[in-house]
């Protein structure tokens, strides 16, 4: 064991065996074996520039959730992350080399990077919906915005237009149709941010990374156990979480599929996720319900324009495997948007049907 790990384990009062764990792309994750297993993570401070604020959000939200879960007769050690503090009571430790570390209690469960059964989406949606609903009365505006303007789609459009104007890579001439696709939909960019500003859409505690693999599912029953990866917990709209979950979960193919004939929006996946989400979200408002299908389009558009802007900028943000990688990614998002736009009446009807079934 290297000296830094000995130092970190000592700070948390741990003297146990450490090994790599999981396959996360942002933070380095390890499992510490012993009488009680724990997870230790090195926080990526290149992505999260103020890890102290990230941990402040996580600690406050998980302590609130623990109280709610206990009041409802659940098990707080299983149904939410449990932060283990250092021997001097801090929720993180900064090593002498400047690394930031945190420790959680280990929770038994499985996560999936790809959908192998539509029931996984249903149970993940129930878990995400329950997470948001339990935090419905939490003062969201007291949380730190750990990634400023993360889903500010008006700001994303400003940045996109700046990228096109700069054309730093000289690539803008290779994608005029894609640029036009984004600009033709600029009228959509303010709907949620303006709703949050005028109060017609409630400000909520949002997860902001609602991929399938951020829910632990019970390996025996398949039901949701716990929502994990709370680094991006911030104030926002549930429409960001719901929309982004189906940007990923509603697609028939990979994010960088070159053959667009393989990319379609899968209505069966949409129905399963929406059923689980609405079922576990009794606090959802009429305006939020109305905008659920639109939010999928909006989050897909936001992602697509970010890929396209990075292509035009010269691939400075997203990792790429070949020169056109970001352009290919943008095109898959735009194909999904075209499908969603064509299916919007059907999607709205499904939401109405499910909402009525659950008393909305």
pLDDT in tens, 59-89: 999 999 999 999 999 999 999 999 999 999 9
Per DSSP, 253 falls in state: S
Domain 3-105 in CATH 3.30.200.20? yes
Q: What average pLDDT does the chain have?
A: 94
Give the C-alpha separation, 8 to 99, whole Å.
9
Contact criterion met (CB below 8 Å) for 73 and 175: no
- Spell out the domain ranges in the chain: 3-105, 118-357
Superfamily of domain 118-357: Aminoglycoside phosphotransferase (APH), C-terminal lobe (3.90.1200.10)
pLDDT in tens, 227-271: 999 999 999 999 999 999 999 999 999 999 999 999 999 999 999
pLDDT in tens, 98-110: 999 999 999 999 9
Q: Residue 50 is encoded by which pair of tokens?
A: 């103020």
**Which is it for the CA torsion 74, 75, 80, 82, positive or negative?**
positive
CA distances in angstroms from 34 to 4, 39, 106, 185, listed in the order given:
19, 11, 11, 54
Contact criterion met (CB below 8 Å) for 209 and 54: no
Angle in degrees, CA 107, 77, 205, rounded to 5: 95
- The model's pTM: 0.93
CB atoms within 10 A of CB 156: 21
Q: Residue 25 is encoded by which pair of tokens?
A: 């792309």
């Amino acid at each position: 064991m290297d000296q830094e790990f000995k130092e970190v384990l000592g700070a948390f009062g741990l003297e146990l065996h450490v090994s790599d764990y999981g396959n996360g792309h942002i933070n380095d994750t390890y499992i510490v074996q012993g009488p009680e297993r724990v997870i230790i993570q090195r926080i990526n401070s290149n992505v999260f520039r103020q890890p102290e604020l990230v941990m402040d959000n996580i600690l406050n939200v998980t302590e609130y959730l623990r109280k709610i879960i206990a009041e409802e007769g659940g098990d707080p050690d299983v149904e939410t992350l449990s932060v283990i503090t250092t021997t001097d009571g801090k929720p993180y430790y900064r090593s002498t080399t400047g690394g930031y570390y945190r420790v959680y209690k280990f929770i038994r469960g499985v996560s999936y990077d790809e959908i192998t059964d539509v029931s996984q989406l249903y149970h993940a949606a129930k878990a995400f919906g329950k997470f948001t609903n339990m935090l419905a009365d939490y003062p969201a505006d007291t949380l730190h915005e750990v990634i400023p303007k993360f889903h500010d789609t008006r700001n994303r459009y400003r940045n996109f237009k700046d990228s096109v104007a700069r054309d730093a890579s000289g690539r803008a001439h290779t994608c005029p149709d894609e640029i036009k696709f984004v600009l033709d939909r600029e009228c959509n960019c303010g709907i949620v941010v303006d709703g949050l500003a005028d109060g017609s859409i409630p400000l909520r505690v949002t997860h902001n990374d609602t991929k399938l693999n951020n829910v632990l599912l019970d390996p025996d029953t398949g039901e949701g156990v716990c929502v994990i990866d709370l680094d991006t917990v911030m104030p926002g709209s549930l429409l960001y979480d719901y929309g982004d979950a189906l940007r990923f979960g509603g697609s028939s193919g990979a994010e960088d599929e070159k053959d667009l004939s393989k990319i379609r929006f899968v209505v069966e996946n949409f129905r399963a996720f929406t059923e689980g989400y609405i079922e576990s979200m009794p606090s959802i408002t009429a305006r939020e319900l109305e905008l659920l299908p639109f939010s999928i389009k909006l989050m897909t558009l936001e992602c697509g324009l970010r890929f396209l802007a990075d292509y035009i900028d010269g691939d400075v943000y997203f990792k790429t495997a070949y020169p056109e990688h970001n352009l290919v990614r943008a095109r898959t998002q735009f194909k999904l948007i075209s499908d969603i736009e064509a299916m919007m009446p059907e999607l709205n009807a499904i939401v109405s049907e499910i909402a009525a079934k659950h008393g909305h």
